Structure 1
């Protein structure tokens, strides 16, 4: 009788037992950022693009640099933003990293002033390597060996 009653008992309630479930009852994993994360990231990208286009930095490394903000990724709690940037005309975007880290407080204050968020996100900068990767793939596809293989098939 006790074994029968154990089968009727509810499972323990708590965070460890909660899983998102679909209609069939299988567990689902959340993939990708939420709509709010995407929207806030895009707004931050617009604000930073405006700041970099106006210039006006005291740091000589940033004063003449043409910086492009390619992507911003937000953490789920909207307190951290990873800013991916590239430098126009030159491939040494990593050389700007110390200057951007130094201007971190100024950029964060400008974002806080432009956006009405509860917390101004903490900015983390990373050079965007996707353009370099795309150019490397393009050069591989244009190589004579690949062209020869494509002509065979």
Structure 2
């Protein structure tokens, strides 16, 4: 995926990240998604796909991935209503490895 680099894309990505985090806290009823953290959003060049980076206190699991994929439609429609977007990007959930890489890459 070729990433967008414009200010508009960065602003939209931040808005999507904040709104998704809010929706996860206030509206999602699935107990598997309660301790999830949205750590970032990356948009592609035409802003049709949003990669949502996430972490969870218990680590990565297939059950968590299934829960996110199951909630994808609800999250997308909620984004469209709350942000009043004409077109809401497709949401793709990607495990954020940044913290893991920081811990394991440190040299003694």
TM-score by length of 2: 0.87
Are 2:57 and 1:85 equivalent residues in the alignment? Answer: no
Matches within 5 A, 1:64-83: 65-83=34-52
Cα shift at 1:106 = 0.3
TM-score by length of 1: 0.63
Cα shift at 1:93 = 5.1
Are 2:9 and 1:40 equivalent residues in the alignment? Answer: no
Query: Which of 63, 75, 78 matches 1:107?
Result: 75
Answer yes or no: is the 8 Å Cα contact 2:4–2:46 preserved in 1: no
Which structure has the bigger radius of gyration? 1
Task: Give the structure 2 partner of residue 16 of structure 1.
Answer: none
Answer yes or no: is the 8 Å Cα contact 1:94–1:127 preserved in 2: no
Task: Give the structure 2 partner of residue 61 of structure 1.
Answer: 32
Task: Give the structure 1 partner of residue 66 of structure 2.
Answer: 98
- Distance change in 2, residues 1:100/1:129 (3 Å): same
Cα shift at 1:92 = 2.4
Q: Structure 2: where are the runs of 5+ without partners? A: none
Higher relative contact order (CA 8 A, sep 6+): 2
Aligned residue-pair number: 106
Task: Give the structure 2 partner of residue 149 of structure 1.
Answer: none
Q: Structure 1: where are the runs of 5+ without partners? A: 1-30, 143-153
Q: Point out 4+ residue stretches in structure 1 off by more than 3 angstroms.
A: none
